Amino acid sequence: MTVTGTVLDEAGLPAAGAAVSIAANGVAPVSAATDAYGRYSVTLPAVSYFWGNADKAGYETTSRDSYFSESPRVLNFRLFRPVRVDTGNSIHVFVTTDGSICGFDDEWFCRTIRVSAAQSGALVVDGTADDSSVPLTLTIGAVDPPCCTASVPKTVRVGDEVLVYVLLPWNGRVTGVTLRPSIR
């Protein structure tokens, strides 16, 4: 089977030269580079479930998966530059359906934010979705079960950089999110 797709950057422009790797159970990963239009194509043995990563220097890795029962088999990716924010500041980010997925069973559209601790204490992160009807979940440090019910404070030291995950349900709408990390 042939899997095709497009890799875009955060502005929606083609990400030429991105490395895409597609794999399936029992199948060695197959890699390709995107062309000037951000397009790629790989061939795998016929499977109904596969996953992949898109990478490019200066961007976070985007991981996605897909289930297919028939053609066409398309898996698109969106790359985002790393986002950093210091505690005491706020930041606005977008979560997209073609960005990364994460969670125990890939049940979330997600974005990763790197928070730098300006002082020692308990890191907490509050967030507000642009669309208040979209359920928002934040996790600090990991997206592992039983993660995704509420943001749990994490003890940090001054200068620590901690990953914070913005999670939106995979079967819902996506939106922008404002995050406010602080130390308590």
pLDDT tens, residue by residue, 28-83: 899 999 999 999 999 988 887 888 999 999 999 999 988 665 567 889 999 999 99
The pLDDT, as a whole number, for residue 103 is 74
**Higher-confidence residue: 86 or 149?**
86
Instruction: Check whether residue 177 and residue 107 sit in a common domain.
Output: yes
* Rounded Cα distance, 40 and 137, in Å: 33
| C-alpha atoms less than 13 angstroms from C-alpha of 6 in its C-beta half-sphere | 9
41, 57, 78 - which closes a domain: 78
The residues, any chain, with a CB within 8 Å of residue 11's CB and separated by 6 or more, are none
* Rounded Cα distance, 138 and 150, in Å: 6
Instruction: Check whether residue 121 and residue 51 sit in a common domain.
Output: no
**What sign does the dihedral 154-159-160-164 (CA atoms) show?**
positive
78, 111, 132 - which closes a domain: 78
Find where tokens 């950089």 sit.
161
Instruction: Check whether residue 92 and residue 56 sit in a common domain.
Output: no
Shortest CA distance to 11 belongs to which of 94, 101, 126, 104? 94
Range of the domain at 62: 2-78
Instruction: Check whether residue 90 and residue 158 sit in a common domain.
Output: yes
78, 97, 123 - which closes a domain: 78
Question: Which of 118-132, 138-152, 164-178 holds the top average pLDDT?
Answer: 118-132
169: domain CATH number?
Answer: 2.60.120
Instruction: Check whether residue 150 and residue 73 sit in a common domain.
Output: no
Instruction: Check whether residue 38 and residue 69 sit in a common domain.
Output: yes
The pLDDT, as a whole number, for residue 71 is 66
